[in-house]
């Protein structure tokens, strides 16, 4: 049993949604494109799951956040895919791939063949078990990667309003979920091994601003240690989190956000890998010329840095997906992907954006006791990264623009003095 398509997108997340829109803009014919996804719904804006979806009042629910509303584009509902003749195979896990034969085998036993394959399998959340711990299957331990996880998290959260939540991990999931749990009136303690939150991006000074803000909202931080085990009740629910430093925390629920691994397993040994992802060229094309990889799973050349990177952010998923489709459908016209990395987050009433690379020396600017502040990173004499909290649209555009230009910086003191004014004047 099998079906054949010209184009197949494996994975039905953010990148798949943006790729589908790009295919239709470039004139795909009915019946040529197929999307296969393990999820039970058509592509949606995953960032909503740790933000609007968790709000106690008027929470975001599908169909309101299907792609591509996050980029102010058309919202692609199931009806849209139907009208455009796109076959969407939902609730279906692809269990193997044969790159030489250009086929995918689904868990339901169907073989789907392609002329061009776009791998958009994203990533999975790392489990405690991968760190030698146990307890992920407890009734009140939550992860957050997809709609099913988010729905479960909301159920668990609503069952323990006023109780204690322990958040394991001080990264993006930890920070955004902690804020949502506070808004839902839970007492939150965050536990993570590093000296401060968001250790891979924030400087200690930036982190301390957010931590002070969280503390004022009632969040407690336990840094420099990790959990060692859970105490459980007879219903299989966690009642306390034991830490390596010997202390323990009472818990009515636990949220775990300890990083991800890209879903590359189907292609190990068939495609070249790098940085934990599928290595692609500036056209998002993998080591087999019929295969493209986009989003979290792709390790692509970032021209601006002169090296290959794998990014785990929604903007790169959207843009790499569009680029791959352009490269497939208009190969003569397309240039190398020239991407400026962009990360952002929104928690409580705070909102920051980051562009570029956080390498080299840091120059902070602005009012760290007020609402607007930021930092520049200067590496080998050039400005390579910019961070801004509380900026206006124009200010964010200015730091984005200046970061792409990579201007030479001779005097760090002068840059510090000019602060945001430097970006605005460029």
Residue (of 168, 170, 175, 169) closest to 140 by Cα position: 168
User: Could you tell me how many residues of this chain bind ligand FAD (CB under 6 A)?
Assistant: 35
Angle at 386 between CA 384 and CA 390, to 5 degrees: 175
Contact stretch for ligand NDP (CB under 6 A) within 69-77, 85-93, 167-175, 239-247:
167-175
Cis preceding linkage at 68, omega within 30: yes
Using CB distances below 5 to 8 A depending on partner kind, what does residue 385 bind out of ligand NDP, ligand FAD, none? none
193 binds ligand NDP (CB under 6 A): yes
Site string for ligand NDP, 121-150 (x = CB under 6 A): ----------x-------------------
From 11, 43, 122, 257, residue interacting with ligand NDP (rule: CB under 6 A):
257
Quote the CA–CA distance of 240 and 195 in Å, as a whole number. 23
Residue 169: name its binding partner from ligand FAD, ligand NDP, none (Cβ under 5 to 8 Å by kind).
ligand NDP
What is the spatial distance between Cα 178 and Cα 197, in angstroms, rounded to a whole number?
12
Q: Which of 146, 148, 207, 145 is nearest to 175 (CA)?
A: 207
Q: Which residue is nearest to ligand FAD (CB)?
A: 13
Among 11, 12, 70, 169, binds ligand NDP (CB under 6 A): 169
Instruction: Confirm or reject binding of residue 22 to ligand FAD (CB under 6 A).
Output: no
- Tokens standing for residue 241: 């989190």
Q: Whole-angstrom Cα distance, residue 110 to residue 4?
A: 11
> Which of 125, 148, 123, 147 shows the shortest CA–CA distance to 136?
125
Q: Which of ligand NDP, ligand FAD, none does residue 35 bind (CB under 5 to 8 Å by kind)?
A: none
Q: Rule CB under 6 A: choose which of 192, 221, 292, 343 binds ligand FAD.
A: 343
| Closer by beta carbon to ligand NDP, 231 or else 416 | 231
For the CB of residue 277, give the shortest distance to ligand NDP in the complex, in Å. 12
Q: Could you say which of 285, 345, 353, 386 contacts ligand FAD (CB under 6 A)? A: 345
Applying CB under 6 A, does 99 fall inside the site for ligand FAD?
no
Please tell me the distance from the alpha carbon of residue 22 to that of residue 9, in angstroms, as a whole number.
Answer: 12
Helix (H) or strand (E) holding 102: none
Work out the angle between the directed axes of helices 172-183 and 204-216 (0-180°, nearest 10).
Answer: 20
Least Å from the CB of residue 18 to ligand NDP? 16
> In the complex, what is the shortest distance from the CB of residue 73 to ligand FAD, in angstroms, rounded to a whole number?
16
Contacts to ligand FAD from residues 294-333, by CB under 6 A: 295-297, 312-315, 317
Mode of pairing for the β-strands spanning 373-379 and 2-10: unpaired
Contact yes or no for 277/122 (Cβ under 8 A): no
* Bridge-based pairing state of the strands 164-168 and 187-192: parallel
Q: Which two tokens stand for residue 115?
A: 């002329």
- Cβ within 8 Å of residue 369, ≥6 positions away: none
Binding residues vs ligand NDP (CB under 6 A): 50, 131, 168-174, 176, 192-194, 199-200, 226, 257-260, 312-313, 343, 345
For binding to ligand FAD (CB under 6 A), which residues are involved? 11-16, 36-39, 46-47, 49-50, 93-94, 120-123, 144-145, 263, 266, 295-297, 312-315, 317, 343-345
């Amino acid at each position: 049993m099998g079906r054949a398509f010209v184009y197949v997108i494996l994975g039905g997340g953010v990148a798949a949604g943006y790729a589908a829109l790009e295919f239709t803009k470039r004139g795909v014919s009915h019946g040529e494109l197929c999307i296969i996804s393990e999820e039970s719904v058509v592509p949606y804006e995953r960032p909503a799951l740790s933000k609007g979806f968790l709000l106690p009042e008027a929470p975001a629910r599908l169909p309101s956040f299907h792609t591509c509303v996050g980029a102010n584009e058309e919202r692609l509902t199931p009806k849209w895919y139907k009208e455009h003749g796109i076959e969407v195979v939902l609730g279906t896990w692809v269990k193997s791939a044969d790159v030489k034969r250009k086929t995918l085998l689904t868990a339901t036993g169907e073989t789907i063949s392609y002329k061009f394959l776009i791998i958009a399998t994203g990533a999975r959340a790392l489990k405690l078990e991968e760190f030698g711990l146990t307890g992920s299957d407890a009734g009140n331990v939550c992860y957050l990667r997809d709609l099913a996880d988010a729905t479960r998290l909301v159920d668990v959260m609503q069952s323990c309003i006023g109780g204690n939540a322990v958040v394991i991990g001080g990264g993006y999931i930890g920070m955004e979920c902690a804020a949502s749990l506070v808004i839902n009136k839970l007492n939150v303690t965050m536990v993570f091994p590093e000296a401060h939150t968001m250790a891979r991006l924030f400087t200690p000074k930036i982190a301390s601003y957010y931590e002070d803000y969280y503390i004022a909202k009632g969040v407690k931080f336990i840094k420099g240690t990790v959990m060692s085990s859970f105490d459980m009740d007879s219903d299989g629910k966690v009642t306390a989190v034991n830490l390596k430093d010997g202390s323990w925390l009472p818990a009515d629920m636990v949220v775990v956000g300890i990083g991800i691994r890209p879903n590359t397993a189907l292609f190990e040994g068939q495609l070249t890998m790098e940085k934990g992802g599928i290595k692609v060229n500036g056209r998002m094309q993998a080591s087999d010329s019929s295969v493209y990889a986009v989003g979290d799973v792709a390790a692509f050349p970032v021209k601006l840095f002169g090296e290959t990177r794998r990014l785990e952010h929604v903007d790169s998923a959207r843009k790499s997906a569009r680029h791959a489709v352009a490269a497939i459908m208009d190969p003569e016209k397309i240039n190398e992907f020239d991407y400026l990395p962009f990360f952002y987050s929104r928690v409580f009433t705070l909102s920051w954006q980051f562009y570029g690379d956080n390498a080299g020396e840091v120059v902070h600017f602005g009012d760290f006791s007020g609402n607007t502040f930021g930092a520049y990173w200067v590496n080998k004499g050039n400005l390579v990264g910019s961070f801004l909290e509380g900026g206006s649209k124009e200010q964010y555009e200015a730091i984005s623009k200046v970061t792409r230009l990579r201007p030479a910086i001779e005097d760090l003191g002068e840059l510090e003095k000019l602060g945001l004014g430097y970006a605005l004047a460029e």
